[in-house]
A and B are shown apart, each in its own frame.
Chain A
Amino acid sequence: MSDEDEIILSELDDDELVQQMFDDLYDGLREEIEEGVNILLGRGWQPYDILTKALVGGMTIVGNDFRDGILFVPEVLQAANAMKGGMAILKPLLVETGAPRVGKMVIGTVKGDIHDIGKNLVSMMMEGAGFEVVDLGINNDVDKYLGALESEKPDILGMSALLTTTMPYMKVVIDTLVERGIREDYTVLVGGAPLNEEFGRAIGADAYCRDAAVAVETAKDFMARKHNQMAAG
C-alpha cells in the first residue's frame, strides 16, 4: 500500500468513516471494520446505530451485488467474516444497552434432505447481517424443528430442501405449526433450488427466498414489519 492510498480511519468524519466501512466490508477487511466500530463507539455512537447504519448498511450493498451476479460466494463470506468481527465488539454492548435485536433464526434442511451448502450459506449471511442463527443441520423431522422453536424462541424458522422429493415435507412442518396454534408466532422462510414462489405460497410459508441474499433481505423486511406492529400495538 503506498502512502497516498493510506487512509487513517480516525481522521475521517462520521459520514466518511461510514462510507469507508461500507468499502471495507465490501473488501472483507475484518481488522479495519473492528477499528471503525471502535472509533464510532469512542465518538459516542450508540451500538445499535453502528450496527444498523454502518454494518448492516454495508452488508446490504454486498447482498445486492451478490444478487446481481457481481460478487460470488467467496467475497460474500469474507464480507460476512469482517462483519462478524464488528459484531463481536457490539454484541455485549447491544445486550447492555437493551437495543432491539436484529432477529433470531432457527434453520435446517428438512427430513430426507442431506444437501446443506445452500442452508450453510444462508446461515453465514444471516449472521453477517446481524441475526442470531441456530443451525439444526441436515435431515430434520418435525419434532426437531418444534423442539428448537420452543427452546430457542426465534423470530424466524428457515427450512431448506434441494430435492423435489423432500420439498413437500416443508408443508408437514407448517401444517403442524398450524395445528398447534403457533404458526403466527414465527415468520417461516423456505428456500432451495427446486422451489419457487408459487410453491412457497401453496405450502403456507411467509416467503420463498431464491438465494442467500434474498433470504437476508426478506428476513430484514419481516423483522421491520414485526417491529412496526409492536410499535403500533
Chain B
Amino acid sequence: MILTDLLSERGWLLADGATGTALFNMGLQAGDPPELWNDDRPGDIRALYRGSVEAGADLFLTNSFGGNAARLKLHDAQDRVRALNRAAAALAREVADAAGRPVVVAGSMGPTGEIMEPVGALSHAEAVEMFHEQAEGLKEGGADVLWLETISAEEEYRAAAEAAKLAGMPWCGTMSFDTAGRTMMGVTADRLPRLAARLDHPPVAVGANCGVGASDLVRTVLGMAGQNDIPLIAKGNAGIPKYVDGHIHYDGTPALMAEYAVMARNAGASIIGGCCGTTPTHLREMRAALEATPKGPPPTLDEVAAKLGGFSSEADGTGGAAPARRRGRRRG
C-alpha cells in the first residue's frame, strides 16, 4: 500500500491543507455543498488538488467531506452519493498520477452530522451503509486510502471502520478534539489510538484534525503518543478564524504553521498537514521546515504555548486532569 510504503521509506509525510476554506476563496457560495463542484466545476477541483501537490504534499484529500447520504440529503442530492465521490477521487487520481512522484489520494469521509444510538437516532447499520456507499464511490474513482475526518463520536468511528472493511479499503481516521481538549462527544486523546487498535479492521493511521488552533492540536498529539504503534496524524487549523470585513481570515501565518509542523512531528505525528485556513503557501513553509529540521524530543506544553499560542482549555483532554464528575447515588 502506497501510504505505508512511503511512510516507512521517509519516516514522515506532508499531508494537504484546507479544502472548504480554499473553495470559498474560489467562489463557492455559502450554503452550497462543495461536492457538487466535482461534477459542475472539475477544473476548479483539479486546481485545488494541484495547489497541494505543487506545494509539496505527499498526500491530499478528495473533495468529498460531506459526500454521504445524510449530508447530501440536505441539498436533495442523496441519490448522487456514489457518482460525486467517484468523481472526487477520479479527479484526484488524475492529478496524483501526473505529479511525477508518488502522491497518495486519500478519499475524505466526514461525519454524517447525525447523532448515533443510543443517545441519538442514527443506527449503526444505517451509518455503516452510508459510509459504505461513499467508500465504494471513492474506491471506484481510484482513491488509495479512505480518510475519515472530523469525527467526534466513537460509534461513528466504528461504523466507518466497518464500511472500510466492506469496501476492502485501507483507511485512516482522525477525530476533532475541540471541547475542553476532548471531542464534542467526550473522547479523550489517549483513548483514540487504543480504541482504533482494537477495531476489527484497524486504521493505518489515527490522529486529530481541525479542532481549535495549532497549539491545541499539538497538545492532542502529545496525548495520543505512546499508546501503541499506530502512526499518528496531525492536521491542525492555521490558527483561529477571525472575522475581518466579512471575510474568513485565519490568524496562523505560514511561519507559525512551519513551527507547528516541526512540533507536531516532535510530539509523535508522522503524517502532518493542515486543516481550515491552511493554504499552499503554508504547506510550502511546512515542508521546508520539516526537511530542514531534524526530529527532536517531544515539546513540553509550555514550549508549545510559547511558540504556537495559548491553549483553549486547561484540561489537556487525556482525562487524567479532568474535574471530577458528580457522583450519582444509583448506578455507580
Contact = CB atoms under 8 A, between A and B. Distances in A.
A156 B241 CA distance: 28
Contact of A32 (B71, B182, B330): B330
A117 B113 contact: yes
A29 B315 CA distance: 28
Question: How many A residues touch the partner, as a band?
Answer: 35 or more
Given A23-B329, A65-B326, A73 B186 contact: yes
Interface of A: 1, 5, 7, 20, 23-24, 26-27, 29, 32, 61, 65, 68-75, 77-78, 81, 111-117, 120, 138-139, 163-168, 193-194, 199
B31 A20 contact: no
A112 B328 contact: no
Closest 5 interchain pairs by CB? A72-B186, A69-B180, A112-B30, A112-B31, A27-B328
Interface in B48-99: 66, 71, 74-75
B120 A77 contact: yes
B331 A74 contact: no
A208 to B, nearest CB: 12
Given A23-B328, A77-B120, A164 B186 contact: no
Nearest to B324: A70
Contact of A1 (B115, B120, B243, B330): B330
A58 B119 CA distance: 19
Given A69-B179, A73-B184, A24 B330 contact: yes
B328 A72 contact: no
B246 interface: yes
A26 B31 contact: no
Nearest to A75: B186
27 contacts: A1-B330, A5-B329, A5-B331, A7-B330, A23-B326, A24-B330, A27-B328, A65-B325, A65-B326, A69-B322, A70-B323, A70-B326, A72-B183, A72-B185, A73-B115, A73-B152, A73-B186, A74-B185, A74-B186, A111-B31, A114-B66, A117-B115, A164-B243, A164-B248, A165-B248, A168-B246, A193-B241
